[in-house]
Amino acid sequence: MNTDSVTTVRKMFRALTDFDVDGAAELMTEDIIWQNVSLPTLRGRNAVVRALRMVTKPSLKFEADMHHIIGDEFTVLTERTDILTVGPLRIEFWVCGTFELRDGKIAVWRDYFSLRDVAWGVVTAIGQAVLGIGSRSRLAPA
């Protein structure tokens, strides 16, 4: 396993969790492709940075609970729960990601997730907010 590529992907997620979009962008190639399968593909660092700025604000927090991560020099695979917090709503959904690296930077970021699972995360978050109970991911290992 090439720890440099895995470290790069971990650093990107850490930067996004810390609202450091510029730090995350430094780990990407200029011509990065970000594909959330079933959603439009974003091409180029400027487009990706614009999208990331929308989910890294004090009013909308992003976190990733990494369950598994492995890689070699050119590819990193992740299995994680992504968490979007909007005010009192904590929306959790499962994601598998593939990262292709070139010259030590992320050139392709492809995420696979179920829109049904995202919708379930929203419904669950609303129910928890209404009932005033804390959340615990139904996807995360116990």
In the residue annotation, 18 being an active-site residue is answered as no
DSSP string for residues in the chain = --HHHHHHHHHHHHHHHTT-HHHHHTTEEEEEEEEETTSPPEESHHHHHHHHHHTSBTTEEEEEEEEEEEE-SSEEEEEEEEEEEETTEEEEEEEEEEEEEETTEEEEEEEE--HHHHHHHHHHHHHHHHHT-----SSS--
In the residue annotation, 22 being an active-site residue is answered as no
Q: Which of 18, 31, 65, 82 is catalytic?
A: 82
Q: Which of 18, 22, 103, 111 is catalytic?
A: 111
Q: Which residues are catalytic?
A: 82, 111
